Every structure is written in C-alpha cells, then in structure tokens.
C-alpha cells in the first residue's frame, strides 16, 4: 500500500487502532504505522494491558520483515507515552530506533504524558506533527479522554423502540422490536464498553445475561446491576459466569454475604433518599479505570440516570413500526414548559438493516 500524505498514513493507523476496540481497556486504542518512501514497513496496535503498545508492535513488525526504521516516519493515533506504567515509555523506544519523524493525531490527555512524549522526541531531533485526523482519534477513545479529563467514564445509553417510542407492549412483550442486524450492532457497542450497566427492574422482568454474544470479543465487559434493596435472586442469569458488581443503598447483611459468597462484589452507595447515588457510582467507575459504560436498562433507571446528569449520549435503534399504547424509553417529567426538556444534538444517523440507529449527545443548553 502506497502512502501519499499524512492523512493517508493516519487513516491507516486509525484502522489499526480499531483492531483493539474490545481489548485495550483501560488503555486507549492506539494504532501505529511506520512508513519509508511511501511504503508501509511496519504496523501494529496496542495489545491488552501489560503487553506492548502500538509503537512497539509496529517496530517489532518492521524488524520481523527485515526493514530498517532509522529515518522513517511513524504515524500514531495518540501521542507516544513518556512514563513508566505497565510498560516502559514508547517515546524512548522511538528515540532509540532513530525515527526521522513522528506524526501523532492528538496529544495524550493523561497528565503523565500531556505533550511530554512529543517534547522528548523533538529534544532528540525527531520532527513531530500533531492534529492530523484529531477528531477521528478522539472519537475512537472518547471514554479514555472522558476519564482522563473528568474522572468519569463516557456513558452511552442504548435503547430500542418503535417509531412511536415504545420499547415493549403494554403487557411487557418486547422480543423482538428491532431486526437481527440492529441486535448484532448493539452487541458490538456492548463489546467496546468496559461496563454493561442495568437495573434490578430489567433483571426481574427479562432475566437477561447482559453478555456479548452476537459479535467477536476478546473479553466480556464487567456487568453492573443497580439494585437499591438487594432484591436480586441468586438464580438470576446475569449472576452466572463472571462475577458482577451489585450496587445497593441498603446494607442487608445476609444478602451481602450471600452475594459475596457467590463471588460477586457489593458496593454500598446510598444517597439522601435511600436509593443508589448514581453520580457517585460513575465517579467510582472512573476510579476503577472504566472508560466506557454501556447502559441497557428500563425506563425508570434510564430516567434517573438522565435526570442526575450521568448520561453523555443515547444509542437509539428505531424500528419501522408502531406499538400504540406501550412502555416508553425514559421515565421523565412531566414537564410544564419546553425549557425543562432534555436537549440533545444528533451526532450520527445510520440505517442498520431495516432499522434506524441514532447517536444523540446531550448538550449543555
């Protein structure tokens, strides 16, 4: 493949970064390609935590193919790290390799890096450039940027509904409103998250597994259940497999012990009303290095999360049908004035099979 300019080099690096969509967390998804005279001589992406970052993978790939990287250009989707974490600094490796130029899409928001990686490269005579396809690089790691800048994960709320906003019939029947393509796409969004969050209402009514099944994934996201009174049954399907985190407001000692004995973790985060403190939960998930939270819950928890300002964007699948009198997506309001409405901006609209997928982000206004 011939690389004609920096945009083409970074586009390819972003494609490599996307290969780590489900495997790099809590680290960011990063891709790197090394180019000499327009020819790609090495490429790689960040591996699971504790393993090599994208730059090291690309250097190893070039060496395995017998290429000399001295004087070549490296395209990397995030500023090379400059600190010792689970692995040594990538900036040092690039300096030792003698790269002639490093193009980074965007600076690393991690305060341990934040421009220092690029500064080290420049101090060793390596030409640098930033800002190439920065928006695309940011979107790929929106949760990592959120956690680094706000201490909070990026929270994405998924729901599927008819055009008239129904998520289930009046009697609770909901399988299936959307088609197979939309359901598979929803699993791909599950797979990229660090946490799948639901509520006890959904657990009781649907008995879901809340796992990734319709797409390939190297790991299952952590499952989190909001259950203020610890009403969950030990026989619930969501408790099968990997341990869950159950977030409660009341310290029911016997139930806590039973859940812990089964391998699950119980977090007590009460608010003044005796319910789960949802903002505190998001802060705790950020502290636990969760980049992205994928919410699949009922209208009551959905409404509470939105009212508490805990949701960044909606992932809505609309099916071309009408359900009439039905259960809704969000328990909000009633509002008496339009000024009270929750304002969003459309970020992306795409047809998935017969259904429509809408990404809409909450705005400050």
Q: 235 and 264 in contact (C-beta within 8 Å)?
A: no
The residue among 175, 182, 238 whose CA lies nearest residue 214 is: 182
Number of C-alpha atoms within 13 angstroms, CB side, residue 146?
A: 25
Q: 220 and 209 in contact (C-beta within 8 Å)?
A: no
Catalytic-role residue among 55, 57, 107, 313: 55
Cα→Cα distances 340→78, 301, 308, 333, Å? 39, 19, 14, 9
Active site (annotated) includes residue 136: no
Q: 165 and 328 in contact (C-beta within 8 Å)?
A: yes
Q: Which residues of 322-360 are buried (b: 16+ CB within 10 A; e: fewer)?
A: ebeebbbbbebeeeeeeeeeeebeeeeeeebbebbbbbb
Distance CA 78, CA 22 (A): 17
Number of C-alpha atoms within 13 angstroms, CB side, residue 272?
A: 0
Q: What are phi and psi of 17, to 5 degrees?
A: -60, -40
The kind and range of the H/E element at 134 are helix 134-140
Which residues are catalytically annotated?
55
């Amino acid at each position: 493949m011939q690389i004609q300019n920096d945009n083409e080099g970074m586009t390819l690096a972003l494609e490599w970064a996307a290969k780590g969509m489900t495997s790099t967390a809590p680290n960011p998804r990063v891709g790197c390609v090394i180019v000499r005279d327009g020819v790609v001589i090495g490429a790689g992406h960040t591996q699971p935590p504790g393993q090599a970052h994208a730059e090291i993978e690309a250097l190893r790939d070039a060496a395995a193919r017998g290429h000399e990287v001295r004087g070549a250009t490296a395209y990397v989707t995030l500023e090379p790290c400059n600190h010792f974490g689970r692995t040594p600094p990538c900036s040092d490796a690039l300096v030792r390799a003698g790269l002639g130029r490093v193009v980074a899409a965007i600076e690393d928001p991690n305060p341990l890096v934040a421009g220092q990686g690029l500064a080290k490269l420049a101090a060793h005579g390596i030409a640098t450039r930033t800002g190439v396809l920065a928006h695309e690089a940011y979107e790929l790691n929106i949760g990592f940027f959120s956690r680094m800048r706000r201490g909070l994960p990026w929270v994405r709320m998924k729901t599927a509904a008819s055009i008239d906003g129904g998520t289930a019939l009046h009697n609770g029947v909901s399988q299936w409103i959307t088609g197979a393509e939309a359901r598979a796409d929803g699993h791909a969004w599950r797979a990229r998250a660090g946490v799948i969050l639901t509520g006890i209402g959904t657990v009781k009514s649907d008995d879901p597994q809340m796992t990734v099944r319709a797409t390939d994934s190297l790991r299952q996201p952590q499952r989190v259940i909001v259950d203020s009174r610890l009403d969950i049954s030990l026989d619930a399907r969501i408790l099968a497999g990997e341990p869950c985190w159950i977030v409660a407001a009341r310290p029911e000692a016997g139930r806590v012990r039973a859940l812990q004995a089964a391998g699950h973790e119980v977090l007590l985060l009460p608010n003044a009303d005796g319910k789960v403190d949802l903002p505190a939960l998001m802060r705790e998930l950020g502290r636990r290095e969760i980049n992205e939270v994928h919410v699949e819950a009922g209208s009551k928890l959905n409404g509470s999360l939105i009212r508490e300002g805990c949701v960044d964007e909606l992932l809505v699948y609309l099916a071309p049908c009408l359900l009439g009198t039905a259960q809704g997506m969000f328990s909000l309001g009633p509002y008496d004035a339009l000024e009270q409405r929750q304002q969003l901006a459309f970020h992306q609209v795409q047809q998935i099979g017969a259904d429509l997928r809408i990404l809409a982000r909450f705005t400050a206004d």
